[in-house]
Structure 1
């Protein structure tokens, strides 16, 4: 079967090549990118197309421009998502904005995980240095969370884990299902995503004792801002 050709617009192909070189370290922080004329010659495109490619990298945070000097690689440190961690310490500069708290009919896939259709929703936006980086929808079983701090607007001291523990349902373990997809219009607007950036979607189910589900969260992150990190202990040979 013939291999499918890359039919993306030229500026996306150029940006993809440069992005890969930045992420691999071939283009280092502070290093100047090839000029618009050089990129146009290398890729056989118009200067405007090459310019649009570098503008895209700037919008994504991979590069920055200096008037009269050119475009340079930004010293960029992505958020690291450790798949084996849940209670990572909060990073400096990270804040949350509570967007909504409501009693709702849970989406079907959430209801299936919670084991009931009614839920308490807490909808939040996470910001890093005042820039939006994650939007989340956290659902709690109505039978458990109604008429508790989880159902009221406002910050919760100790967060949801503290409330659940007080209710006799401490969080014991969780599972994450991670996927990548294009953003919805609402997600793109909330996260102020550059054009063409996909999102990382985490579906997190948190369990208490006896494997009771006490929280289902949908976490949406800009794909250009995050890095997933996996760590696995390698078992030794059986003696």
Structure 2
């Protein structure tokens, strides 16, 4: 193969991708069989198989057991704007999206005590193994799961207080800022990092996606001064959202 020349399987995948994007192979259309790809492009079974694997990894097609490989209908990507934390109701990506779109979503949650892992301990600036309250969420819009979240709060801060359980008690569901204020702690800054990675099988299954496809992870930590009081990971399918930041310049 000459320098700069694409491998055969990538050339086949590129041509099929153009047909999908251009509408020649519309959503739900069956992808040409392995035998047909071999015949049309003059390639081996191995090349035909690898080309299909590329399209599956890109989320353009999906296999159906006993039926074949079909073009996936691509979701319309939604813009999730992050504009700071002036309003407690807009502190999480999910709640900001609900406010922006003037819709009312729902969520399910469960909380349990646990020991902080090394990663969580670093983020909360506590010792590994210290006790934390871990809360898992599934957020839904129009009944469909849109985001997952796991949060950790050090029980050295919230233990034996009315806000120890984030979704129970007098301030259930009010968010970190209001809950911490109720125990005399003023949240005054927050750090957010956005990253992408292959989704874990249980994450993509819960979100209605395809195992292995990329997810966006918003890692967020609330601080009282320099002391972290909550850290969380919010996970959503990358093909469904793009995150845009619009922040004031001081």
Q: Does residue 130 of structure 1 match 2:143?
A: yes
2:107 aligned with 1:96, yes or no?
yes
Change (3 A) 1:221 1:5: farther
Aligned to 1:150: 164
Deviation at residue 119 of structure 1 after TM alignment: 1.1
Query: Among residues 118, 121, 146, which one is paired with 1:111 in the alignment?
Result: 121
**Residue 81 to residue 5, structure 1, CA distance change in 2 (3 Å):** farther
TM-score (norm 1): 0.66
1:26-65 matches, cutoff 5 A: 44=41, 57=60
Q: Which residue of 1 aligns with 2:236?
A: 221
> Which of 181, 187, 190 is the matching residue for 2:206?
190
Give how far 1:213 is off: 0.9
Conservation of the 8 A alpha-carbon contact between 2:199 and 2:211: no
| Contact 1:101–1:123 (Cα < 8 Å) also in 2 | yes
Partner of 1:78: 77
User: Do the aligned residues in 1 keep the contact of 2:80 with 2:97 (CA within 8 Å)?
Assistant: no
Superposition TM-score, scaled by structure 2 size: 0.64
Q: Closer, same or farther in 2 for the Cα pair 1:105/1:199, shift >3 Å?
A: same
Shift of residue 154, structure 1, vs aligned partner? 4.0
Q: RMSD of aligned C-alpha atoms? A: 4.1
Q: Displacement of 1:153 after TM fit?
A: 5.4
- Consecutive unaligned residues in structure 2, runs of 5 or more: 63-70, 91-95
Is the Cα–Cα contact under 8 Å of residues 15 and 57 in structure 1 kept in the other structure? Answer: no
Give unpaired runs (5+ residues) of structure 1: 22-26, 60-70
Count of aligned residue pairs for this structure pair: 206
Distance 1:229 1:120 in 2: 30
